[in-house]
Structure 1
Amino acid sequence: MSSHAPNRHHLIPLRPVPETPEPAAREPLWRDVVGDVLRRERLAQERTLKDVAEAARISMPYLSEIERGRKEASSEVLAAAARSLGLGLGEVLSLGQEELARRSRVRRSSSHPSPSRLFPTRAPMGEVRLAA
């Protein structure tokens, strides 16, 4: 009976293997931002989805999807929704731009790992690393 020792190889990468980075925060989408602005304004006015949708002459399910960022509304629909809230389209877009800039700043500051996190260890001088 022949017993073979298991073939044990220890691979050492040529370059340090970076840690798996945390998932990058997703780039904010314009439809999400505008939907949030509309919803925030509607709730601040203590109005129902039904009331605003009727005033804007759009369906309640469609307005709900816009507010949740599920639909990309046309400028005509956004203007109608804005008017029903007593706002101009420019005001909604300006509020959206401010929110988008804020979210982008937060995302940028949290998505750039430091170089020490990417390459936490360096090979000591004289150590040889081979790649297979």
Structure 2
Amino acid sequence: MTIELTRVEPLLRRLVGAILRTHREEQGRTLRDVAVQARVSVAYLSEVERGRKEASSEVLVAICRALGMRLVDLVGAAHAQLAEADGRIVVDLTAAPAPQLARPAREPGAALLLAA
């Protein structure tokens, strides 16, 4: 008997929401505080954080700004989590370069995605 396991990819809206919620909670801020600063309703921000609403890029930028982060930080964190779920690792060559890896020509701060 053979059992085939398929990996379910997480939904991007759920990852994004969880990342935003984590940042907000780490700052000890309320939904209301961040929603007011981002100019969105508390209910909408709650839905975004729970992964029930797919926010536009404009809304994501506003929420990120309210949390003191950049959209690239949000996208980078989501990328790392998606790569991990896919069984890959993300190595930031600017933080601690691995000596056995050749450094490709790229922008400073870019991450390299490696298959595990």
- Listed as ranges, the gaps of 5+ residues in structure 2 are 89-116
Which residue number corresponds to residue 94 of structure 1?
Answer: 76
How many residue pairs get aligned? The number is 88
User: What is the aligned-residue identity percentage?
Assistant: 48
Inter-partner Cα distance in structure 2 for 1:103 and 1:65: 23
TM alignment of 1:53-132, pairs within 5 A: 53-105=35-87
Inter-partner Cα distance in structure 2 for 1:90 and 1:19: 42
Cα offset, 1:95, TM superposition: 1.2
> Secondary structure, in 3 states, of the residue corresponding to 2:87?
helix
Which residue number corresponds to residue 35 of structure 1?
Answer: 17
Greater Rg over alpha carbons, structure: 1
Inter-partner Cα distance in structure 1 for 2:49 and 2:66: 14
Inter-partner Cα distance in structure 1 for 2:19 and 2:85: 13
**Any runs of at least 4 consecutive aligned residues in structure 1 with deviations exceeding 2 A, and if so which?**
18-22
- Listed as ranges, the gaps of 5+ residues in structure 1 are 1-17, 107-132
Inter-partner Cα distance in structure 2 for 1:33 and 1:99: 8
Bigger share in strand: 2
Q: Could you tell me the TM-score, scaled by structure 1's length?
A: 0.61
Asked if the contact 1:28–1:104 (Cα under 8 Å) also holds between the matched residues in 2, the reply is no
Cα offset, 1:103, TM superposition: 2.1
Which residue number corresponds to residue 50 of structure 1?
Answer: 32
Inter-partner Cα distance in structure 2 for 1:35 and 1:86: 16
Q: Could you tell me the TM-score, scaled by structure 2's length?
A: 0.69
Cα offset, 1:96, TM superposition: 1.2
C-alpha RMSD of matched pairs (Å): 1.6
Residue type at the aligned position of 1:28:
P
